[in-house]
Amino acid sequence: MNAIASSGLRLLTIEDDPTLGAHLSSHLSERGFDVTWCQDGGEGLAQARGGDYDLVLMDIMLPGIGGLEILRSLRRERAVPVILMSALGAEQDRIAGFSQGADDYLPKPFSLAELSVRVEAVLRRVALERGSQTLGSTPTELQMDPQKDDVGLDGQWAGLTGTEYRLLETFLGSQGETLSKPFLYQHVLHRPFTAHDRSLDMHVSHLRRKLQAIGYLRHQLHTVWGKGYVFAEAED
């Protein structure tokens, strides 16, 4: 992993499918993580409560206790980041996961390369929030300040609002993925989307302008007409 050193980080995977679970455990171990794998929801919740894990990666459909119930229990007790996995790829399922406090949602099937990127993005955000990490060390990388809800580049700060900061965090966690307006309204603005509400468009426009003003060129925020927005690598 690039921005976050994986050595020594403890990951808990909760996945009842033996083939996928074995692949996840092997892949993440090869990436330098200390991986614990559980195949039952009850066992997974006990492990999550009793272990000092840096991230939990779990399926939604689990025997014993379901993933969303585990997530609700964890959120009452601790702030460990959680990535949900599920073949339930419909938007309402993603919204349900995020509304319960998930940090990311990975629809099945997915590649191990995508998994690595998602894990890195979540761990990077957590490190930033804890004040122990910045997004890289070169002038092309953003510096996040969760205390100020702002982002900077090479010492110049964008002056984001709280909503714009949450919006940027969401895009950073789903780079290259088109995020729909209903999803962004629920996850960032915390209210349902209605056809005549242009608040999200305004926030996106302001965020795009402020990133351009500080000279951030690595990613571009594109409108996907009829669908939503995507935060993608800028083309050379």
pLDDT 10s digits, 119-137: 888 887 777 666 534 444 4
The whole-number pLDDT of residue 99 equals 80
Cβ–Cβ < 8 Å for 174, 231: yes
The whole-number pLDDT of residue 132 equals 39
Indicate the fold that domain 10-126 takes in CATH. Rossmann fold (3.40.50)
pTM: 0.57
The whole-number pLDDT of residue 138 equals 40
Cβ–Cβ < 8 Å for 28, 11: yes
Domains 10-126 and 134-233 share a fold: no
Could you say which DSSP state residue 148 is in? T
In the chain, where the domains are located:
10-126, 134-233
Indicate the fold that domain 134-233 takes in CATH. Arc Repressor Mutant, subunit A (1.10.10)
The whole-number pLDDT of residue 6 equals 54
The most confident of the ranges 3-17, 36-50, 213-227 is 36-50
Per-residue exposure over 21-58, b if at least 16 CB sit within 10 Å of its own CB, e if not = beebbeebeebebebbbbbebeebbebbeeeebbbbbb
Residue labelled with tokens 């090869």? 30
The most confident of the ranges 16-25, 174-183, 188-197 is 16-25
Q: Please say if the pLDDT value at position 160 is more than 70.
A: yes
The whole-number pLDDT of residue 197 equals 86
Cβ–Cβ < 8 Å for 171, 229: yes
Q: pLDDT, tens digit, for every residue of 182-232?
A: 889 888 888 888 888 889 999 999 999 999 999 888 888 999 988 899 998
